Amino acid sequence: MTINNYSLLSLIFFALALLVKSVPAIDIGSLKILNSLMFNEIFFSYFTELGNGLICLAILIPLLSFISHKTNLNNVKVQTLVMVGIGVGLIVKTLKELASFSVRPGYYKFEDINYLEPIFSYNSFPSGHAATILSISLAWISLATKKINTKYSLVMVSIILTLALSVSLSRVIIGAHWLSDILGSTAIAFLVLNIIELKVMEKILFTSNLSKYISFLLIGMAWIYIISQGTVY
**Residue 133 has what pLDDT?**
98
pLDDT above 50: residue 11: yes
Please list the alpha-helical segments (H only) found in the chain: 3-21, 24-38, 41-47, 53-55, 61-70, 78-98, 105-108, 128-144, 151-173, 179-196, 202, 209-229
Which of the four pLDDT bands, split at 50, 70 and 90, describes residue 140?
A: very high
Q: For the chain, what is the mean pLDDT?
A: 93
**How far is CA 229 from its chain centroid?**
23
Q: In this prediction, what percent of the chain has a pLDDT beyond 90?
A: 81
**Residue 1 has what pLDDT?**
47
**Residue 233 has what pLDDT?**
59
**Residue 198 has what pLDDT?**
82
* Spatial contact of 196 and 205, defined as CB atoms under 8 Å apart: yes
pTM summary value:
0.93
* pLDDT single digits (tens) 102-128: 999 999 999 999 999 889 999 999 999
- For residues 138-146, give the mean pLDDT: 94
Domain spans of the chain?
3-229
**Residue 99 has what pLDDT?**
87
* pLDDT single digits (tens) 66-77: 999 988 899 999
pLDDT above 70: residue 232: no
Pick the CATH number of 3-229 from 1.10.3470, 1.20.144, 3.90.105, 3.30.70: 1.20.144
User: Which residues does 222 contact at the CB level (< 8 Å), separation at least 6?
Assistant: 54, 57, 58
- For residues 160-164, give the mean pLDDT: 97
pLDDT above 50: residue 2: no
**Residue 152 has what pLDDT?**
87
**Residue 159 has what pLDDT?**
96
